[in-house]
């Protein structure tokens, strides 16, 4: 039989590197069939006076083995933990991170903003819920103008003075009330009209409106600004045309078409075979509007324009149904990843 000293030195020189070694150690020194246990078995055959001393030595030996075992075990467990949590398998294929895309309407809003900001316009934002003054009265709408009608405007709880803005021209009023010319702002935002939803119209849509007021601002300035915008948006080959129109807040007023970028002017469904697509309304700010906002109309003049973002987006991305922009169908939205900036 091995002596206590021999077993002690075996314990002390035992190398444990993995879970298997650990189990061998346990079987050899701590199990019921271990050599240490059989030493305990010898106790009962011993003389009474030797028992105490021998028993103490075997006890110490067993404590030594137990301590070593505990030490080895915690090292091996920590290593196993590390393996799973800290050192992943570096040869494993990477998990795909899905990067979202911007909504096409946001992409277009940002693009329009950027173009105008480059020539000195700054963006202002304001409330969706407005009052009659900022949406209609200050903008020279006659008392009986049909736009004020409940058929066109969403009123809040039928209160005639609280409504959802039908255009962001309300922000032009808010700007002019606060600030004297020169004024050069664009007003991006969501607008609401009580209209039936079809492939070409929706009751919610987005606008970017613009306003420039200073001394000696002319119709020619407006035309040149809008041509610059159209060329940056659709390319240098694009042509524009202005058709006479009417808005209560501008005089003279016009609507602007761009040459159809789908058929290049030859005629297609989008341009209804005319070669032209209307993208905005514009005009010289009516002197009444300037005066309503506290600006001297004998000293200053200005132009304003408002464009519908959905229409522009449909033109740019060649989609034929405005409802796609409001349905949040991922199959549609994911196609705009490449355009997200």
Nearer to ligand PHE, 248 or 265 (CB): 248
Nearer to ligand PHE, 304 or 309 (CB): 304
Nearer to ligand PHE, 22 or 280 (CB): 280
Q: Which of 124, 282, 284, 314 binds ligand PHE (CB under 6 A)?
A: 282
Contact 163, 153 (CB under 8 A): yes
Q: Does 229 bind ligand PHE (CB under 6 A)?
A: no
> Among all chains, which residue has been given the structure tokens 């973002």?
309
Contact 289, 138 (CB under 8 A): yes
The token pair that represents 128 in the structure block: 């969706």
Separation between Cα atoms, residue 193 and residue 202, nearest integer Å = 8
Helices (H), 179-258: 219-234
Q: At its nearest, how many Å lie between ligand PHE and the CB of residue 256?
A: 10
Q: Does 188 bind ligand PHE (CB under 6 A)?
A: no
Question: In angstroms, what CA-CA distances link 106 with 69, 296, 300?
Answer: 64, 36, 34
Nearer to ligand PHE, 141 or 228 (CB): 141
Q: Which of 140, 153, 169, 225 binds ligand PHE (CB under 6 A)?
A: 169
Distance of CA 329 to the CA centre of its chain: 16
- For ligand PHE (CB under 6 A), the number of binding residues is 11
Sequence-ordered strand ranges (E) for the chain: 122-123, 129-131, 162-164, 183-192, 204-214, 240-247, 250-259, 276-285, 301-308
* Binding characters for ligand PHE, 118-137, by CB under 6 A (x = yes): --------------------
Q: Which of 153, 175, 225, 250 binds ligand PHE (CB under 6 A)?
A: 250
The token pair that represents 280 in the structure block: 């905005």
Nearer to ligand PHE, 62 or 165 (CB): 165
Q: Does 170 bind ligand PHE (CB under 6 A)?
A: no
Separation between Cα atoms, residue 21 and residue 301, nearest integer Å = 92
* Binding characters for ligand PHE, 289-318, by CB under 6 A (x = yes): ---------------xxx------------
Separation between Cα atoms, residue 209 and residue 135, nearest integer Å = 13
Q: Does 165 bind ligand PHE (CB under 6 A)?
A: no
Q: Which of 188, 189, 283, 302 binds ligand PHE (CB under 6 A)?
A: 283
Q: For binding to ligand PHE (CB under 6 A), which residues are involved?
A: 167, 169, 209, 247, 250, 281-283, 304-306
């Amino acid at each position: 039989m091995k002596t206590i000293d021999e077993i002690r030195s075996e314990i002390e020189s035992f190398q444990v590197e993995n879970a298997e070694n650990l189990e061998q150690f346990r079987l050899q020194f701590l199990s019921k069939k271990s050599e240490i246990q059989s030493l305990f078995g010898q106790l009962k055959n011993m003389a009474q006076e030797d028992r105490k001393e021998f028993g103490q030595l075997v006890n110490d030996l067993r404590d030594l083995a137990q301590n070593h075992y505990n030490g080895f075990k915690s090292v091996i467990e920590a290593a196993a933990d590390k393996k799973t949590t800290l050192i992943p398998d570096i040869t494993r294929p990477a998990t795909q991170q899905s990067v979202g895309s911007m909504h096409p309407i946001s992409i277009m809003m940002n693009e329009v903003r950027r173009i105008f900001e480059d020539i000195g316009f700054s963006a202002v934002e304001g409330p969706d819920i407005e009052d009659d003054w900022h949406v209609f009265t200050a903008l020279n709408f006659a008392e009986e103008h049909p736009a004020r009608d409940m058929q066109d405007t969403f009123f809040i709880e039928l209160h005639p003075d609280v409504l959802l803005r039908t255009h962001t021209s309300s922000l032009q009023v808010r700007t002019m009330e606060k600030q004297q010319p020169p004024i050069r702002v664009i007003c991006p935002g969501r607008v609401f009209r009580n209209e039936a939803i079809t492939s070409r119209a929706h009751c919610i849509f987005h606008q970017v409106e613009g306003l420039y007021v200073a001394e000696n601002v002319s119709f020619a300035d407006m035309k040149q600004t809008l041509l610059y915008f159209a060329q940056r948006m659709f390319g240098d080959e694009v042509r524009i045309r202005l058709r006479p129109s009417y808005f209560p807040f501008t005089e003279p007023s016009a609507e602007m078409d761009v040459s159809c970028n789908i058929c290049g002017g030859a005629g297609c469904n989008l341009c209804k075979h005319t070669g032209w697509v209307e993208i905005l309304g514009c005009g010289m700010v009516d002197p009444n509007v300037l005066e309503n906002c506290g600006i001297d109309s004998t000293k200053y003049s200005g132009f304003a324009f408002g464009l519908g973002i959905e229409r522009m987006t449909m033109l740019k991305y060649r989609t034929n149904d405005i409802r796609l922009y409001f349905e949040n169908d991922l199959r549609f939205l994911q196609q705009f990843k490449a355009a997200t900036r």
